[in-house]
A and B are shown apart, each in its own frame.
Chain A
Amino acid sequence: MELTGADIFVRALQDEGVEFVFGYPGGAVLHIYDALYRQDKLSHILVRHEQAATHAADGYARSTGKPGVVLVTSGPGATNAVTGIATAYMDSVPLVVFTGQVPTNLIGNDAFQEADNIGITRPCVKHNFLVKDVTKLAETIKKAFYVATTGRPGPVVVDLPKDITAQKATYHYPEKVSMRSYNPVQVGHAGQIKRAVSQLLAARRPMIYTGGGVILGNAAAALTRLARTLNFPVTNTLMGLGGYPATDPLFVGMLGMHGTYEANMAMHHCDVLLAVGARFDDRVTGNIDKFCPHAKIIHIDIDPASISKNVKVDIPIVGCVDNVLNAMLTELGNNRQQPDTVALGEWWKQIDEWRSRDCLNYDRDSDRIKPQYVIETLYRITQGDAFVTSDVGQHQMWAAQFYKFDKPRRWINSGGLGTMGFGLPAAMGVQFAHPDATVACITGEGSIQMCIQELSTCRQYSLPIKIINLNNGYLGMVRQWQEFFYQKRYAMSYMESLPDFVKLAESYGHVGMQITRPADVEGALVEAMKLKDRLVFMDFLTDREENVYPMIPAGGGQNEMILI
């Protein structure tokens, strides 16, 4: 039977097992919206801005491991989605974004709501497709999902001209696709794995540094087994939190610019570094010339281009991190080489000494609300089991430092692109995927206003997100840099004319609270969590000039932290 392009689109998504499409209608996608209207398998979630559609799909994808799906119209619909696509690209999140396009005969004519979606998105997608033939539509959709979810995941854009969605073709959804130009590596090189294990066993001051790849590659269990077998210290990047249980004694905290003293010192002094699914980002390495000066580096990554990009590595292993870590465990079982337990004992003594510096301490007796205290309390009350999304800035760093993630896919934040406005729409995607779970969005009064319109979406779908607004009246991270490096010239980093967030929340039909005293923090959080079916906007007026410590200033090595 022949179907229109719009119906093929809907059938293909159904056959792909898609649950939710996050989107916003417009002229170029009206045939598709009509086809969506005539079916009831797919749920379409109407956001209030296309950026939020991509972030919501992104939150869905990060919290489930399944691809997020977005549908937006041509022109401004697509350009609004670009920030969200770039966010997903930087953090390797599988998204399939369908953009409307003007009819093929008008492409290139500066038609109404026309933009070159393929050209605009090209630098921030894993791949993109323009569908010019309705008979290729189903196959192209299959390819888009295949590319987005395999290898190093990432967003894929499919541009759909309006006339294609009206033309007819026979529907056939391929079960599998193969592409001669795309065959991601699965298994690591056996010889390299042997060499790596031998190097690990010879280590006197080892360190395991893991990133978002462990989460994307579902390798948390294998990583945990490997670290425990070896009794090696583990640090996670911002993107890697939850990849190793934060409450485990081998965990030394996050590393990098705002990482713990013990994690950064251990990185600086280690003699063998095992990097897993991490990309040696500048926020991790600090000054690259001073990075891990004593270490032999082993790097496992699915993306060969990530290896030796910033830091030259000694033993590269390309492959799925889960496969490689399991192969390493097997090899460890076969290898007769004995680890240097005496040296390892000394190393742990040294690490414990660094730990005793208690670098995340803060003034617990203050009469102002300390943002760290809010997050510690949230952690306690949710028993460490909430999904936590964040926006970008100081609150993001405090959330990463003070909420201890024991499981992967619980910590959802824009690490690579650093997109303010990410937190609330991402929380929506997470809540759709996990309707009964506690979803907390930790944000600030700057970030939350970048996608505040989504409070309306939350109302429409009754999403009981708990928004923790750490309101210090400043763009806190900008202000912190200005305090440290610009002699306190606070250029444009203050937030004047803030809305009354309580009334704002109420006007959208939600519950609003304002908390001004430390003694009320716990009570407010407990009360909010009890409102299981309501969105609660908690506006915490926090200490205005609190800073994030430790901090590696620009140009500093990992052993050159500013400590409290």
Chain B
Amino acid sequence: MSVRGVARYAGLTPFAFYVIIFLAIPTLLAVSTGFFTEDGDFTLANIEGLFAPNILSAFASSFWVSAVTAIAGAILGALVCYAMLGTRPEGALRTVVDSISSVLAQFGGVMLAFVFIAAIGIQGLITVWLKNELGVDIYADGPWLYQVPGLLLPYLYFQVPLMVITFMPALQGLKSQWAEANATLGGTRFTYWTRIAAPVLAPSFFGSVLLLFANAFSSYATAAALISQGAQIVPLQIRAALVSETVLGRENMAGALAFGMIVVMVIVMWGYSVLQSRTSRWQR
């Protein structure tokens, strides 16, 4: 390669360095520190620590919260997308729904915890209203909002909008010719949705479910603001491990937890990209 050829690549180096220092190295450190002791000796103790009962139950809680909110969020979000079919993509309705969705999906975090404490916290507006007007005490079984089940509603508050953002393009990609062909061949509304739309949309829908799962699984801020006691889900376990690094036998446990999370994330996101590439076949 000529000098000029090498020089051409020089323009790429600043970004390459940046990504190496602030993305590649932190990622490698995050997943590898779990395999070493504080002194730098190789160990599997932390990885074995992942199978301690409290960590396993944190993974289980993370799994079910993510799965429930991903499936429910996907269904509700798909309904919203369906309802917006036929409206102009540049219209005011779409623009406003898109913006609200982006705010809630990407910006909520800590603030969503405040929103839900104001609504269904112990002194929340809805809690008090239900108690005074209907005599229903939603906290009869204890303060569930500040435990794992309390994450479900706030998580749905960002999962549904994320579904709207990710699923709308797929639904938009349904071609009117297909519906016409269906009608011409004597198909009904039912056959259109079950025989044509469903198979075309399925990869995108399940891909979105996986993306929503990954989103909830890796979400930290809302849980951190709601749950101050204990570490019932994996991200909160990482917080606990980072904050109390010096606790005996917990050195580099954060690394092991990060490794465990990455394994789950890579599998889920791999599934997402496989389904996504099937989706794009229909979007040309």
A binds B: no
Interface of B with A (CB < 8 Å)? Answer: none
Interface of A with B (CB < 8 Å)? Answer: none
